[in-house]
Chain A
Amino acid sequence: EPEVTQTPSHQVTQMGQEVILRCVPISNHLYFYWYRQILGQKVEFLVSFYNNEISEKSEIFDDQFSVERPDGSNFTLKIRSTKLEDSAMYFCASKATSAHYEQYFGPGTRLTVT
């Protein structure tokens, strides 16, 4: 069964450093998402991406964040200058078409900022 994959599973970085989280969405899906879950809190929407551009972003997704689909398979989230409060599980998700609502999630990347 097709699945969303994410790398790395765990990333430790120092405050102020840049990190890139990688995702490979399900191959025939057209819509891509990033969510995050800070420990003990809800899963929160960050950004959605369609047709090579951001279609929606939350207030969390400020200028420190960017997304890119550099090739036909990868979808990346970059945090330019990490802060302690960026420590969280980051989940990538994808969905097939605009007629679908179900989003399929990857296993997540645990980001720890020290």
Chain B
Amino acid sequence: DQQVKQNSPSLSVQEGRISILNCDYTNSMFDYFLWYKKYPAEGPTFLISISSIKDKNEDGRFTVFLNKSAKHLSLHIVPSQPGDSAVYFCAASASRSGSRLTFGEGTQLTVNP
């Protein structure tokens, strides 16, 4: 199932700099996108989301951008902090075909002090 893809398994950034995590999708029915953060031995924690009718959503240090024509979204974290080090999952939902979430593979973000 390659409907949601995160091509970078890992990303390393310096504290204070911007982290950019990317996600691509193929299913045109997806109309809502979410980012989750996951620490080891914990469940995914909801971070931020965006509806397909928007192209940007911002919440504090976190901003999600959606490019529908490219079927691409990205999560920007600025400034990055060491506590942001975690696995970040992109997920998508198609409201007209149920409420299941389809996840990407995840990207391990490491923020170095």
Contact = CB atoms under 8 A, between A and B. Distances in A.
Are A and B a genuine interacting pair, yes or no?
yes
Interface of B: 1, 32, 34, 36, 41-46, 49, 89, 91, 93, 95, 98-106
A2 to B, nearest CB: 13
A91 B44 CA distance: 9
Contacts of A104: 46
Most chain B beta-carbon contacts within 10 A, residue among A6, A42, A93, A107: A42
Nearest to A110: B41
Interface string A49-67: 0000001101000000000
B43 A105 contact: yes
B67 to A, nearest CB: 19
A48 B49 contact: no
A107 B42 contact: yes
A38 interface: no
A48 B42 contact: no
Interface string A29-49: 001010100000011110010
A45 B43 contact: no
B43 A106 contact: yes
A95 interface: yes
Given A4-B43, A42-B105, A101 B89 contact: no
Contacts of A91: 43-44
